[in-house]
Structure 1
Amino acid sequence: MLRPTPLTEGWTLRHPDGAGGALPAGVPGCVHTDLLAAGLIPDPFLGRNEAEVEWVGRREWTYERDLPAATGQAAPAGPAERTDLVFDGLDTVAEVLLDGRVLGRVRNMHRSHRFDVTGLSGRLAVRFASAYTEAEAVRETLGERPGAYPEPYQYIRKMACSFGWDWGPTLVTAGIWRPVRLEHWSTARIARVRPLVTVEGRTGLVELSVDVERTRVEAPPADGVPPADGVPLTDEARLTVEARVGGVTARAEVDGTRGTVRLRVPDVELWWPRGYGGQPLYDVELTLLRGTAGLDGWRRRIGFRTVALDTSADARGTGFTLVVNGERLFARGVNWIPDDVFPSRMTPGRYRRRLGQAADAGVDLVRVWGGGIYESEDFYDACDALGLLVWQDFPFACAAYPEEQPLRGEVAAEARENVVRLMPHPSLVLWNGNNENLWGFRDWDWERPLAGESWGEGYYLGLLPRVVAETDPTRPYTAGSPWSGSWLHHPNDPAHGTHHSWEVWNRADYAEYRADVPRFVAEFGWQAPPAHATLRRALPGEELAPDSPGMLHHQKAEDGNGKLARGLERHFPSPGGDFDRWHYLTQLNQARAVAAGIEHWRSHWPVCAGTVVWQLNDCWPVTSWSAIDGDGREKPLYHELRRLYADRLLTVQERDGRLVVAAVNQAAGEWTGTLTLRRMSVEGAVLGRAEVPLSAGRRSVALIGVPAELAPAGPKEFLVADAGVRAGADPGASADAGASDLGPGPRALRFTAPDRDIPYVTPEFDVALAPGGVGVGVTVTARTLVRDLLLQADRLDPAARADRGLVTLLPGERVTIGVRGWETPDAHAARRALYCVEPR
């Protein structure tokens, strides 16, 4: 069998001029992490250190180690005819040398590379050029192409956001970023397996197309006389492939270098996205055989399911609805960026934690954004297990990309390799050609400066769909996001296909989300700073202010602070110079903004078939659109997503000038019960009340009219809609009547004016501590209306986490917030960490 020898130890890193000598190098890793480990650069995530390490990305660097003598005939566990040196990922432009002899040259971070080193040993070196040098040389050859940012990321096949983004630092990496090993083999090895997995009724169909690489060896001639020219004969040994899935075994012969084995697996259990069913996975074992001897093996886990994308036209435009196992879905999504600007630091545990946070928030779709990478197997394995659908962008984002060589060949090779690599994963349901480039060509003044030069259209509408159709016909492909389906419509037309809603954040109030009903909202979002403890760690010693030097450095968006300020002014009295108040209000405003969009769009299912929030995560500590900050702490938006993406959601909306309660039921069963409506004053008085029947079918939305007499009349009044209020609880009762726990069912609130115009009473509440099952319970009992109460647990202890975010309490209601990681519980400290909306 093929035998691997990992090459993770013994590497050194040096600059070619020899200055500073050789440093220990981590593999997988990158130059920045090695320099950090050696104490030679400051942490670029802290303060304004990013600028102090800019030089690293503009240097050449060399990794070296001895190649073991155990190659060829001296391979471990017996002789081997062939030894390959295999790199799973080199970032990005490099020469691979052995004792000064060039084995090969590479220029693509997104590909693996293999070199024949049979019988060789000596000093192995990987000499990295600066990514800037390569990109600028390609730009000089092919000419300028427009982009959203000045850095030359579109001229090199590298993670684009290494060059900085409006949420990320400019840290241009180099290094052996994925594993490297020697592979020893004889006769033949499995070069590629392309698994096509489908379902026919209850029968799972698996087709494994196998590509085989053979060695060339001395084969004894039939007449015993060696050939006159001494050329070795090719060993055309008879090979077979054998596969096992779900107790079914099948075998097929290899015809030269290819073989196809097909299996029919009866009575399979379907793989479903979370919330729709289970996620059963089946082991696939494939063995390459010569006679009865195993030469190589391939093992993966698959899931049986069908996936389709319904883009049919209707009276409202062109749809964009994912259909899994015949079930039409409203996608509850988030956009994923690389979770670390140094992706070699990502571990299986970290992927599982971050994606677990997404699943716990009700997310069922994760879009891997096109300015990053094709993620590691650990990412997709976690999504398979958690039931998270994956929308995978090809790595093109926010720029015109040249289509000439040397880029075109690299794009074709990387696409074919990664499509095949990711095909086993049932979570992967959609291939997408690019992020915003079709839109950019139309709206960002690209066409005139391009003057007919290539810009990527040939990739998105030609090369990539051909690769997907030929390689992975089991999954749909879409040319871009946003994309209306053809040039007959504007690429970002909300009535057709996918839509990115950025006018609201950039120029308008978030109430404008309600102005239209896109068919699928693939990007929208609102900024907020990270958690307080994250800021304290990232900006040590700084007196925090919205415009303090470190805060401005960790705000990468164009006019980001201006947009935050204008967003606050529309809703809240100015926090003045109170940073803590500003911090709370901007985080609250982020949650309010995203809620305005999701509630509106979910209430219009099935016309709107999905929302994908920008963004789930961060790659460093920064003010951004994320729900989870760069230190992994959850913002209030994260907890709000748990409400917004729950199977059952109540929201008060307008239809034809009248208020309705939309009961959004994405659960498998019917939602029936009683809807309790209350018209209340901000002083806590119940001004009107009604109970109406609630009935919403499975996977549907029911609209329930609000009686005219219960509609709030002016800024002093608001509407409360409750489903499933605990028996006997009266959210409108006064505090003196005895406190009641906040009802367990969904609730919707409707205020008719911005907070700055609402005459709130001064909030009054009591705080008590109680031991919980895990951690401490902070119980808050409201004596007045307490709007958007938030416990900032990280102010109690940097390690502390709260189990819920924003909550509005009516007079007489109480809520218990669970806190983990708080070693010294104290009721006074808890009160100081509680924030809520206050009167102007």
Structure 2
Amino acid sequence: MSTVIHPLRALPLDTGWTVRAAGGPSAVGDVEVPATVPGVVHLDLLAAGLIPDPYLDDNESALAWIGLVDWTYRTELAVTAELLAGADRHELVFDGLDTVATVSLDGAPLAEVANQHRSYRIDVTGLLTVGRHTLTVAFRSPIRYANAQALVLGARPRPYPLPYDAIRKSACSFGWDWGIATYASGIWRAARLESWTGARLAEVRVAARPDGDGGVVTASVSLARTADVPLSLRVAVAGAEQTVEVPAGAADAEVEVTLGAVERWWPAGYGDQPLYDVDVELRADAAVIDTATRRVGFRTLRWDTESDADGTPFQLVVNDVPVFVKGVNWIPDDAFPSRVGPDRYRRRLEQARSAHLNLIRVWGGGIYESEDFYDACDELGLLTWQDFLFACAAYSEDEPLRGEIEAEARENIARLGHRASLALLTGNNENLWGYEDWGWQRMLDGKSWGAYYYHELLPALVAEIAPHVPYAPGSPFSPGGQHPNDERHGTMHLWEQWNRLDWPTYRDQTPRFVAEFGWQGPPTWTTLTSSIHDEPLTPESPGMIVHQKALDGNVKLASGLLGHYRVPEDMETWHWAMQLNQANAVSCALDWFRAHAPHTSGAVVWQLNDCWPVTSWAAVDGEGREKPLLFAIRNAFAPRAVSVQPAGDGLFAALTNDTGEAWSGDIVVRRMGFDGAERERRVLVGEAPARGTLRVDLPPVAPDDVADEVLVVEALGTSAVWWFAEPRDSALPPAQFAAEVVPRGDDGFDVTITATTLVRDLTLLVDKIAPDAVVDGGLVTLLPGASHTFRVRGVVELAAADVLRPGVARSANELVAAR
């Protein structure tokens, strides 16, 4: 008897949901409210007007009870005779449940789940009849569950009070030193009912590799079956295709497609990003019964960790070209990630690319990012480094945690392995370092801490599922077995500057690769004042302290400022001073690291983005506005850049040429007075190789007065300024300049600033003109008589008076009391 096989059909389960409190200290009773799926309970309570916005003032603490409550989601599932007749298998599919829940149909439990980081497929064949069925997802309190599991698994060291390491839930949802504690529950990714007959694609793994001028695509599939019928698998890409027969009963198949000519995919700044759709079709009797599409790019990629005379490099090589990594760390872009869609991902990642970045590291305390995120990275040429989700804590290797970790890793390696942008999978964030240096070994007293995951399970799974993807056991990590945070080997995290030292001490170290470092600063003024309503608003007012999560954060901000500027008395100038010092700190570090390429082969700034309005290390704040830090990154990572660096008793100029063409020409060195007078000039000649760095020792310089002179080095079509004294010890005068505004139609306005005096680090805080205004750069130093043109967008009208009004055009001059 022949089997009639119909195509797989998917019924979205995104409407008709409600949610109510089902146990615990609910401040809203057990009222049932409409629920959005995908979403979480906070957003539903907020939409119903039952809670205030968690991001405002001190609402975080007022809403902490939500994490102690059990929440039940409910919807009605309408089943038709047509749906039942057209398939012999029906499955509920949840792409993400956050986190511990019982899924029930008509009151009968179907599944117990406990992992935010994986999907679930639940067979409901035979349970569905024509009519209406009640589907419920009953979530348990994540706080109470994590506490109970910590008792079962045994307490382990971590930096925060609640045991986020005992539950497979986003670590930062329990709060971090930049993040709000939400303890959210909800159906946070899509849900649907899938109906099919005979067979479906259970897993699709695709790999693309160049081969001479052409390329090879390999598609490997695993099948789910209800019938042992013969099938065929067709794979098509760029006009080429191959089909293989899949014998009755076979559970796996593989197809290889060869293309005669392909274009290479390159990181941003190194070339284009051509992508190819790989269409996979499962057929029965020539009818298509299931499909999948993956987009791939053809490139080779490896990390060179061959020991050299200086230690062990961590050098990225793409298409046989060494790449200096210009990176940022990424956290969830919203404390409620279900609010982040493709447009928001695209906007945030375009901000990254505008700063000349070429790599995004997805930090291990957040989530495995969505397809929308990876689509944008593939298209923009932003290499991705995805941590497995372990952060700053010891993790039990016992069940049930062990099995959940293997399941989530298998799923996400298979899901992401084909991505052109995927450059590295990493076992954890800082756990190898923590085990060595943070007193864990004594506290663990022999208990497991995660080593099995990082050194055995995860590398084995990567080798099995996506062997073409590089893997590192952790960040930081030393490939030769040295201390994991040894600057001579592999990757390094630099946090002593922020925590204990000052930012000029970045120049005391020459790491091989910096995977984390950063400096704090407040969000933009508009974001700050729209989320905190203290009267008066001060650095230590109640709302400001709520939105400052770092231990002794304000103390470190002030102590880190005092070596460079005086602490201002008024709030708005304090805000500018801290933003500027953040930008100066990261500029110092990035210029130093680039000056030592290729010995230092990359720098990944902590961090690109925020998940809510907060004082943090981010370059883009929680409402998506760009801080001066983003301009600092943009300036330091420009394709051609010059910096002046100390070397013993002298100075050298570093010319970094991250373009495909060599540069040669004059290097003009000028000693200038603050009054604009040239006091000494030297002209040198140099050549900066393509994708290389030229270091030129500068002639000895003897300023007449270190307080009112600068050294200016011009080359590569750009320039750098070396200051002989800290701003607070200098004779910077009150800044004087004029502004001219010229409309550019739909492209905004050109704002040309012409300096009368020396102006240091001029920046336009355009959000004070209009909340949605943006500017194309900042931190510009102008000698007397010099001009710079900024492009301002996001305003309907703009006049010079808008730019010149107090608080908009700001500079370092304001933070210095002239001698």
TM-score, normalised to structure 2, is 0.95
What's the offset of the Cα at 1:538? 0.4
Is 1:683–1:760's contact at 8 Å kept on the other side of the alignment? no
> Separation in 1 of the partners of 2:789 and 2:640?
22
Amino acid at match of 2:599: V
- Select which of 680, 686, 690 maps to 2:682: 690
> Separation in 2 of the partners of 1:837 and 1:446?
43
> Separation in 2 of the partners of 1:659 and 1:248?
58
Amino acid at match of 1:59: V
> Separation in 2 of the partners of 1:293 and 1:337?
44
Structure 1 residues 325-362: Cα deviation after superposition (integer angstroms, max 9, x where no partner): 11111100000000000001111000000001001110
Amino acid at match of 2:83: A
**Residue in 2 aligned with 1:734?**
none
What's the offset of the Cα at 1:541? 5.3
- Select which of 619, 627, 646 maps to 2:619: 627
Is 2:417–2:469's contact at 8 Å kept on the other side of the alignment? no
- Select which of 615, 625, 628 maps to 1:636: 628
What is the RMSD of the two structures over their aligned residues, measured on CA atoms? Answer: 1.4
Is 1:203–1:267's contact at 8 Å kept on the other side of the alignment? yes
**Residue in 2 aligned with 1:118?**
125
Distance verdict in 2 for CA 1:571–1:686, change over 3 Å: same
**Residue in 2 aligned with 1:80?**
87
> Separation in 2 of the partners of 1:181 and 1:574?
56
Is 1:542–1:550's contact at 8 Å kept on the other side of the alignment? no
1:814 aligns with 2:806: no
Amino acid at match of 2:777: R
Q: Which moved more, 1:150-159 or 1:538-547?
A: 538-547
Q: Which moved more, 1:705-714 or 1:198-207?
A: 705-714
Structure 1 residues 658-686: Cα deviation after superposition (integer angstroms, max 9, x where no partner): 21111011111101222221101122221
Q: Secondary structure at the match of 1:317?
A: coil
Q: Secondary structure at the match of 1:677?
A: strand
**Residue in 1 aligned with 2:17?**
11
- Select which of 782, 788, 810 maps to 1:835: 810
**Residue in 2 aligned with 1:228?**
none
Amino acid at match of 1:306: T
Structure 1 residues 710-763: Cα deviation after superposition (integer angstroms, max 9, x where no partner): 767623221011226xxxxxxxxxxxxxxxxxxxx3211000211111112232
Structure 1 residues 565-615: Cα deviation after superposition (integer angstroms, max 9, x where no partner): 00111111231x211211111111111100111111111111111000000
What's the offset of the Cα at 1:143? 0.9
Amino acid at match of 1:666: D
**Residue in 2 aligned with 1:451?**
445
**Residue in 2 aligned with 1:496?**
489
**Residue in 2 aligned with 1:53?**
63
> Separation in 1 of the partners of 2:779 and 2:744?
20
Q: Secondary structure at the match of 1:830?
A: helix
Amino acid at match of 2:65: W
- Select which of 408, 413, 422 maps to 1:414: 408
> Separation in 2 of the partners of 1:266 and 1:182?
41
Q: Secondary structure at the match of 2:536?
A: coil
- Select which of 37, 41, 59 maps to 1:31: 41
Is 1:678–1:710's contact at 8 Å kept on the other side of the alignment? no
> Separation in 2 of the partners of 1:10 and 1:511?
57
Please give the residue correspondences for 1:478-497 in structure 2 after superposition, counting only pairs within 5 Å: 478-487=472-481, 489-497=482-490
Please give the residue correspondences for 1:337-416 in structure 2 after superposition, counting only pairs within 5 Å: 337-416=331-410
**Residue in 2 aligned with 1:296?**
290
**Residue in 1 aligned with 2:599?**
607
**Residue in 2 aligned with 1:193?**
204
> Separation in 1 of the partners of 2:809 and 2:273?
39
What's the offset of the Cα at 1:200? 2.1
> Separation in 2 of the partners of 1:699 and 1:711?
34
- Select which of 641, 644, 650 maps to 1:652: 644
Amino acid at match of 1:377: E
Distance verdict in 2 for CA 1:206–1:413, change over 3 Å: same
Is 1:92–1:107's contact at 8 Å kept on the other side of the alignment? yes
Q: Secondary structure at the match of 1:390?
A: strand
- Select which of 50, 71, 75 maps to 1:40: 50
What's the offset of the Cα at 1:206? 1.4
Of all paired residues, the percent bearing the same amino acid is 51
Is 1:677–1:719's contact at 8 Å kept on the other side of the alignment? yes
Q: Secondary structure at the match of 1:396?
A: coil
Is 2:548–2:616's contact at 8 Å kept on the other side of the alignment? yes
What's the offset of the Cα at 1:656? 4.3
> Separation in 1 of the partners of 2:615 and 2:374?
28
What's the offset of the Cα at 1:790? 1.5
What's the offset of the Cα at 1:21? 2.7
Q: Which moved more, 1:674-683 or 1:804-813?
A: 674-683
- Select which of 661, 664, 670 maps to 1:669: 661
Structure 1 residues 119-143: Cα deviation after superposition (integer angstroms, max 9, x where no partner): 4151110000011122112111111
> Separation in 1 of the partners of 2:299 and 2:739?
50
Is 2:215–2:259's contact at 8 Å kept on the other side of the alignment? yes
Is 1:74–1:80's contact at 8 Å kept on the other side of the alignment? no
> Separation in 1 of the partners of 2:795 and 2:209?
49
> Separation in 2 of the partners of 1:825 and 1:242?
58
Is 1:711–1:719's contact at 8 Å kept on the other side of the alignment? no
What's the offset of the Cα at 1:482? 0.6
Amino acid at match of 2:51: I
Unaligned runs of 5+ in 2: 1-6
> Separation in 2 of the partners of 1:567 and 1:63?
48
Is 2:534–2:542's contact at 8 Å kept on the other side of the alignment? no
Q: Secondary structure at the match of 1:787?
A: strand
Is 2:315–2:601's contact at 8 Å kept on the other side of the alignment? yes
Unaligned runs of 5+ in 1: 216-234, 725-744
Please give the residue correspondences for 1:728-739 in structure 2 after superposition, counting only pairs within 5 Å: none
Structure 1 residues 340-387: Cα deviation after superposition (integer angstroms, max 9, x where no partner): 000011110000000010011100000000000001100000000000
> Separation in 1 of the partners of 2:324 and 2:271?
15
1:794 aligns with 2:767: yes
Amino acid at match of 2:119: S
> Separation in 1 of the partners of 2:739 and 2:269?
36
TM-score, normalised to structure 1, is 0.93
Distance verdict in 2 for CA 1:712–1:102, change over 3 Å: farther
Amino acid at match of 2:616: S
1:472 aligns with 2:505: no
Q: Which moved more, 1:609-618 or 1:547-556?
A: 547-556
Q: Which moved more, 1:42-51 or 1:133-142?
A: 133-142
Amino acid at match of 2:104: L
**Residue in 2 aligned with 1:104?**
111
What's the offset of the Cα at 1:20? 3.9
What's the offset of the Cα at 1:117? 1.5
**Residue in 2 aligned with 1:167?**
178
> Separation in 2 of the partners of 1:4 and 1:454?
42
Is 2:206–2:294's contact at 8 Å kept on the other side of the alignment? no
Amino acid at match of 2:798: P
Is 1:688–1:709's contact at 8 Å kept on the other side of the alignment? no
- Select which of 138, 158, 175 maps to 1:147: 158
1:749 aligns with 2:721: yes
**Residue in 2 aligned with 1:227?**
none
**Residue in 1 aligned with 2:3?**
none
> Separation in 1 of the partners of 2:393 and 2:656?
38
Structure 1 residues 203-223: Cα deviation after superposition (integer angstroms, max 9, x where no partner): 2111111111111xxxxxxxx
